Amino acid sequence: MNQYIRVYKTFLRLNILKLFVYRADLFSSIIAHTIWSSFTIIQMLLLTSKTSYVFGWSRNDLLVLAAMYNIVYSFFYMFFSRGFGEFSTTIHVGRLDGVLIKPISSQFLMTTLYITYTHGIRLILGIGFLVYMLSIMHVHITLLLMVGFMFIIFFSVMIIYSYWMLIMTLTIWFPKLSNLSELLYQVNSVAKFPQEIYKGASVYLLLTLFPLTLIVVTPVKYLLQKAFFSDILLLVIFACGMVFFSHFFWKFALRFYTSASA
């Protein structure tokens, strides 16, 4: 474990240095993330402009959901999404060879090498808007509530991580599918809305998207004190199961990796 901590600290330092080398990109990224985080909130405002409730969720509930979406996904985008975005290139040009011979988990190196600090802007804005909405709704924030909240957020991010890991592992067989990560960015928008919206979907689609409907709705229900123990337990079970299965699938897929020379 100490070895992994030392390696990750190195990744953190290298990405900070990269961040300040390209300063124009830093400022443009800050502006872009500010705009994107605002779009999620504006979308909810438009959705509730003609009605006070959507599938049993009030306007304030949906705005809290929008803030939570920014918070949960900013954690994932900051620490993992760039690494997943490099999967196809790394495999296609044969750089995975060098990853596999290193005395450390290949999955760890592939998914944690890049940290996009500018997504922290989205996180800060999300937290600020969430605190504002909770104050309007007179939700009393306690230390115990915050500890439970961080616990749930951790497992929510693990579900997103595992979901992306399962899909991006397919590039072992199809390394030219460089647009898989772009597809997943669009699929992530499923989590913006309450689970009730997808009740009319087909069984196969619902089973595919169901984990994503848990990751934002569950922490919102917990903060608003509307969550049951079964809601939190379901999130934890799905997260643990998906983490295990995604790691197993990655190990299985590596048996079929034949390097760029093949």
Instruction: Please indicate, yes or no, if residue 259 is contained in any of the structural domains.
Output: no
As a whole number, mean pLDDT of residues 57-65 equals 89
Q: How many domains does the chain have?
A: 1
CB-CB contact of 140 with 224 (8 Å): no
Instruction: Please indicate, yes or no, if residue 262 is contained in any of the structural domains.
Output: no
Instruction: Please indicate, yes or no, if residue 260 is contained in any of the structural domains.
Output: no
Instruction: Give the pLDDT confidence of 155-210 residue by residue, as tens digits.
Output: 999 999 999 999 999 999 987 777 888 888 888 877 787 777 766 655 455 556 77
Judged against a pLDDT cut of 60, whether residue 86 lies above it is answered with yes
Residue 213 pLDDT level (bands cut at 50, 70, 90)? confident
Domain range holding 181? 2-254
As a whole number, mean pLDDT of residues 56-82 equals 91
Q: How far apart are CA 104 and CA 111, in angstroms?
A: 13
pLDDT at 179: 80
pLDDT at 207: 58
Instruction: Please indicate, yes or no, if residue 64 is contained in any of the structural domains.
Output: yes
pTM of the model: 0.90
DSSP per residue, the chain: -HHHHHHHHHHHHHHHHHHHHSHHHHHHHHHHHHHHHHHHHHHHHHHTSS-SEETTEEHHHHHHHHHHHHHHHHHHIIIIIHHHHTHHHHHHTTTHHHHHTSSS-HHHHHHHS---GGGHHHHHHHHHHHHHHHHHTTPPP-HHHHHHHHHHHHHHHHHHHHHHHHHHGGGGT-TT-TTHHHHHHHHGGGGGS-GGGGTTS-HHHHHHHHHHHHHHHHHHHHHTT---HHHHHHHHHHHHHHHHHHHHHHHHHHTT---TT-
